Structure 1
């Protein structure tokens, strides 16, 4: 069935820009979605993300028994504090991650913390489903030994569904087995019976990590710094430059004077913020005042 434009006669064909689906997503709807996710989360959705938006939000429409995105959006906009906004935001966030992703950062983390005499505090600002903060916690344990128990990884994300998975700490064994055998044996418990094919993070790792929901655009952050290290990897790419600059400005007082900030491989903060200077490959320190 060819999709109809909202407000037109049923006999009219939808424009070629419409997506042929059972639910009606007009150009105006897509524009509203882009505006709302930018206001809520600072995420900039490109034109080519239309198919992704349809497929992810279609589940929410069907959940509510709706057939038009315009009806769904109107319902949301009438209730600015509705719980559904959380589901809307969760649906449009991306959670691509892996254990020890961008592996060159973790030896640098180890080198930075190995001579610390007191507790080490790390903020992972895009925790997703937990692989990154757990990788940080494993590095703390490998580097600090028993002293790691005094340290903390604060892991935050806007996606509450992803955080729920992260707290559970259960992953497919095929994903875990990409790590070296020593780490797998030390940091994971392999499942049996109905848990066969799964592995759970061991308590010595999970006890170091605190998961909290946090929107980087929120006026107040429910965490306290300063931190020895901040991981902000592969999230700034979803923001425009003005939003990136504002977030980096707020990061500065959250980092200790000798602290380091890790960025993603495709992110460059050098021309966005005067708060930080590049120290090495996607590694930043506070700029001199």
Structure 2
């Protein structure tokens, strides 16, 4: 009687220091995310699901897959597994208040063109919050050429954002009037963004450290709770690129724990993690 061989439970597989260093170097090269030794347990926990899916006996075998003919495809799945996707509707609400009360009223009426980029959009709650803010603050929005670009390195998150469907409990943070106007209940547990809202947002997979295919400049960039995973030189290069793609006087919104102090001198700090391009 023959026994069926099974791969060990990935939860029992150890991630050696050398294997962690190899994987961390790959993640940093592809995404810019810096994983210190303190993230070793996180990497083990996130990637053991990939070992289980691929029925691999060790992290050494996983690294061999990354070096093999299907490595590029698995690299995408690895980054999807590693990236943190903590988000929510109207998270850090002061940014949306500033957008509605300060940035939008000051837009030049000539041309009526508006472009906003949600860089590192995760599963889409941020760009949809931006879209709802535009609808509420701009009664004449239909007369504008307004678009929101939403990008993320995690292709799974981009797919979720494109679908625009969320657990009903996640929509509880949307102000009631906006929820009534722009959110549709599919059933007791699931809601969907209204088609008119989806039409304002275009989701695309994008690595912030790679080439940016966009043409034209943006009035505002939301890049919140993203650069905390990058080292200072990488942050400086990214902020320079944001400055180059913003219109004169354009705005940059960053996360509550992020700062441009001693990283970029191209923006004026307006308070509460809001910055305006000055050069």
TM-score by length of 2: 0.91
* Gaps in structure 2 of 5+ consecutive residues: 1-9
SS in 1 for 2:249: strand
SS at match of 2:214: coil
Could you say what secondary structure the match of 1:122 adopts?
Answer: strand
Aligned with residue 98 of structure 1, among 68, 88, 109: 88
TM-score computed with the length of structure 1 as normaliser: 0.87
- Corresponding residue for residue 134 of structure 1: 128
Which whole-Å CA distance do the structure 1 matches of 2:221 and 2:27 have between them?
25
Shift of 1:64: 1.4
Contact 2:249-2:278 at 8 Å conserved across structures: no
Separation in 2, partners of 1:257, 1:183? 31
The equivalent residue for 2:78 is 88
Shift of 1:269: 0.6
SS of the aligned residue for 2:184 comes to strand
Per the alignment, in what secondary structure is the counterpart of residue 129 of structure 1? coil
| Aligned equivalent of 2:183, options 174, 179, 188 | 188
Give the whole-Å Cα distance in 2 for the aligned partners of 1:22 and 1:284: 47
Separation in structure 2 between the aligned mates of residue 131 and residue 161 of structure 1, nearest angstrom? 14
**Distance (Å, rounded) in 2 between the aligned partners of 1:273 and 1:198:** 42
What's the CA shift string for 1:128-171, capped at 9, x where partnerless? Answer: 00000000011111111242563000001000001111111111
SS in 2 for 1:106: helix
**Distance in 2 (alpha carbons) for counterparts of 1:249 and 1:200:** 36
SS in 1 for 2:149: strand
Structure 1: stretches of 5+ with no match in the other structure: 1-19
User: When the two structures are aligned, how many residues end up with a matched partner?
Assistant: 265
Q: Distance in 1 between matches of 2:277 and 2:269?
A: 9
1:62 and 2:57 correspond: no
Matched residues in 2 for 1:145 and 1:46: separation?
A: 48
**1:245 aligned partner:** 236
Matched residues in 2 for 1:49 and 1:79: separation?
A: 28
Could you say what secondary structure the match of 2:72 adopts?
Answer: coil
In 2, the alpha carbon distance for the partners of 1:81 and 1:61 equals 14
TM-aligned CA distance change 1:198 to 1:284, over 3 Å: same
The separation in 2 between residues aligned to 1:257 and 1:104, in whole angstroms, is: 23
Distance in 2 (CA, whole Å) between partners of 1:244 and 1:61 is 32
Q: Which moved more, 1:140-149 or 1:53-62?
A: 140-149
Q: Which residue number corresponds to residue 99 of structure 2?
A: 109
Q: State the Cα deviation string for residues 205-232 of structure 1 (Å, max 9, x = none).
A: 11000001110111x1122231000111
Q: Secondary structure at the match of 2:78?
A: helix
**Contact 1:22-1:67 at 8 Å conserved across structures:** no
- By relative contact order (CA 8 Å, sep 6+), the higher-ranking structure is 2
In the alignment, which of 25, 37, 42 is matched to residue 27 of structure 2?
37
Determine the C-alpha separation between the residues in 2 that align with 1:84 and 1:146: 46
CA contact (8 A) 2:240 2:264 kept: yes
1:57–1:88 CA contact under 8 A, matched in 2: yes
> Which runs of at least 4 in structure 1 moved beyond 6 Å after TM superposition?
none
